[in-house]
Amino acid sequence: MASTRLSRLATRNVNTLPHAAMRVLGRLDELGQARISELAKADRCSQPTMSNLVQRLEEQGWVLRTQDPADSRASLISLTDAGLAELRSARRQAGEALSAYLAQLPATDLATLEAAVTVIHKLLTLEPLEATGR
């Protein structure tokens, strides 16, 4: 809950990109090409909702829809250079907004946050316990 609130705080003043669009572009940056169903699942929304959002992003020139070679009925969505530039701009704005808050913290709190981020990165690379058989 705290990370969601922090993310919203950071992106509140991003002028170039709506929050939902930033999430989808970020997901494509992370995953590479993806089907709409995969994007909807990752974003925890319905497939029609994701289809509408992808259509708007496509109209902006930020994503590209191509036929899935594995299934001609499906499309793959990918990030365009313009979409990546827009995402980077939005991330830069979010970082600048967050840095204004971070600047108000004492050095010890900043060191604690830095250590926590390192642990979170490690956590994200671990295999789930049920997958490892432990």
Main-chain phi, psi angles of 90, to 5 degrees? -65, -40
Task: List the domain range (segments joined by +) for residue 44.
Answer: 2-105
Q: Using CA atoms, how far apart are residues 79 and 25, in angstroms rounded to an integer? A: 7
Prediction pTM value: 0.78
Region of residue 18 (phi > 0: left; psi between -120 and 50: alpha; otherwise: beta): beta
Q: Is residue 117 part of a domain?
A: no
CATH of the domain at 28: 1.10.10.10
Main-chain phi, psi angles of 116, to 5 degrees? -65, -40
Q: Is residue 111 part of a domain?
A: no
What local confidence, expressed as pLDDT, does residue 65 receive?
95
Q: Is residue 20 part of a domain?
A: yes
Number of domains composing the chain: 1
Per-10-residue mean pLDDT, the chain, length 134: 81 76 92 92 92 96 93 91 94 89 95 93 85 56
